[in-house]
Amino acid sequence: MKKRLVAVALIFTLIFLFCSCSDNLINDTSSAQVATKAPSTGNKTDNNDFTDKHTAVDLTFGYDGLENDAQRACYEAMSEISVAITDTVSDSNSYLTEEKFIPMEVKDKDIFVALTAYKYDNSGAFWLKQSFTSSYFNGGVNIRLCSYYSSEELIEKKEEFDKKVAEIIKPIKSNASEYERELYIHNYLINNCEYDNAAADLIYNDIHSGSDESFTAYGALINGRAVCQGYSDAMSYLLSCVGIENTEISGTSGGENHTWNAVKINDDWYYLDVTWDDQSDEAYQYDYFNITTSQLEYDHTIADTFKNITDEKITGGDKHIGVNFNIFLPVCTEISENYFVKNAAVLQGFDEECDNIMGEKLLQTALSGNTYYNIYVDNDYLEYDYACEQLFDPYIYHFQNYVNYVNSQIYDYQVDYSAAIVKKDKLSVITVKLNYI
């Protein structure tokens, strides 16, 4: 959700629910010339720490999605002033950046859109608040960004953040595939970060405090607490540091504003919601790992792109509250890099050969002592409900065949024939909770 504070003369302070920006500097944009491509973000942790394994990428999907010169000029100005923190403090106790004048006609919508695009491209600039100021005169506009920290504080915070990022990605092997890198970062976040309910409650009640850090990658990685924006910022930044293109997506879930990621793996796009995967029960920790648009829309609503939304709805108009919107929306239809497609036992039938394959996968699960056995029903061969019936109907119970095979191979313990199951029809997955005796 975007919010805008009350206007004072020609000076506006605009507040956004989500935040990310860059610490890079670009050439002066005071002239009317506009760059033909996004400024290099340059906000990655010291490249010497990890480019011997994987080369970091600059994200430009936000910039590439802008539709006019005014939006691109705003984006470039934000890039230039993002780390130029001054000692000037605003009425809302924000440290203001230096001011940048854009010598062209710029609408409120252009600034909103540019800031959203900029933050999605630069999720590692945790110091920037969810606000900016703008003042219009002489046919142009001055803009300033707002920082949580003074310039002195930022030096220490950024050093701490960069060190943590290098520490997190260091164990990733040089030959790790894109999928393996993504999975490692996903698992790191769900194991080392927890959802900050208190921060979410404060923001939803329009109360801002130190808990705002939970809306940033810093909160997720340093404090170990975040809301969805912090999770998705951290995921986006870490992925870009290990060479994986991605973007952030805005929408709703459970009736509330929500943010998640879209990730490009082996040239195909997938949705990834690490916030919703951060569950205490391992049975649900990969349900949103590389899913399709149709699977995501089962319980998420994707906000429209800004190009299809009126200026007033984006800025909030007199109500000062704008709607969520996206800059770039990828098409996500592939399933090959989905977690369950790659890791679950793939069920394609109920003949002896298929039983042997499924039994061997269950044996591997049992020998590892894992609690959950995931079955992916291949829809090219079987209808989901029919597969569930064949597996667990007490008069058919093909699952018993798999258990018989496992118990004939191990002797120290056995797999119980009774098992709790979780049906995930949207994913074509059945998660079985095993009991050992």
Same domain, 99 and 133: yes
Give the whole-angstrom CA distance, residue 430 versus residue 421.
7
Strand-pair partners of 15: 3, 131
Total count of domains within the chain: 3
Residues 356/361/367/369 CA torsion (nearest 10 deg): -140
List the domain range (segments joined by +) for residue 23. Answer: 2-46+61-147
Do 96 and 83 meet the contact criterion of CB atoms below 8 Å apart? no
Same domain, 158 and 120: no
Domain boundary pick from 147, 175, 200? 147
209 within domain boundaries: yes
327 within domain boundaries: no
Q: Coil, strand, or helix at residue 49?
A: helix
Same domain, 67 and 90: yes
Same domain, 313 and 395: no
Domain boundary pick from 147, 165, 183? 147
Instruction: Please give the pLDDT value at position 212.
Output: 86
Q: From start to end of 94-158, where are the E strands?
A: 95-97, 100-102, 128-137, 140-147
Which of left, alpha, beta for 266 (phi over 0: left; psi -120 to 50: alpha)?
left
CATH number of 204's domain: 3.10.620
Same domain, 12 and 141: yes
159 within domain boundaries: yes
330 within domain boundaries: no
Give the whole-angstrom CA distance, residue 339 versus residue 335.
9
Same domain, 382 and 262: no
56 within domain boundaries: no
Give the pair of three-digit tokens for residue 139.
Answer: 């046919």
Domain boundary pick from 98, 122, 147? 147
Q: Are strands 2-4 and 11-16 parallel, antiparallel or unpaired?
A: antiparallel
Sequence-ordered list of residues with C-beta below 8 angstroms from that of 205, at least 6 positions apart, any chain: none
53 within domain boundaries: no
51 within domain boundaries: no
Same domain, 200 and 317: yes
Which of left, alpha, beta for 186 (phi over 0: left; psi -120 to 50: alpha)?
alpha
Query: How do the pLDDT tens digits run along the chain, 437 residues long?
Result: 322 222 222 223 333 333 333 222 222 222 223 333 455 544 554 444 455 688 999 999 999 999 999 999 999 999 999 999 999 998 878 999 999 999 999 999 999 999 999 999 999 999 988 788 899 999 999 999 989 999 999 999 999 999 999 999 999 999 999 999 999 999 999 999 999 999 888 765 444 444 589 999 999 999 999 999 999 999 999 999 999 999 999 999 988 999 999 999 999 999 999 999 999 999 999 999 999 999 999 999 999 999 999 999 999 876 667 889 999 999 999 999 999 999 999 999 999 999 999 999 999 999 999 999 999 999 999 999 999 999 999 888 999 999 999 999 998 999 999 989 999 999 999 999 999 99
Instruction: Please give the pLDDT value at position 317.
Output: 78
Same domain, 269 and 413: no
Same domain, 157 and 102: no
Instruction: Please give the pLDDT value at position 6.
Output: 24
Q: From start to end of 268-357, where are the E strands?
A: 268-272, 289-291, 300-302, 321-322, 345-347
Q: How far are the Cα atoms of 52, 75, 352, 355, 361 from residue 405, in angstroms, in the given order?
A: 46, 61, 12, 9, 11
Q: Coil, strand, or helix at residue 426?
A: helix
Same domain, 314 and 353: no
Same domain, 103 and 126: yes
Same domain, 248 and 373: no
Instruction: Please give the pLDDT value at position 319.
Output: 62
Instruction: Please give the pLDDT value at position 388.
Output: 97
Instruction: Name the residue with tokens 């164990």.
Output: 171
297 within domain boundaries: yes
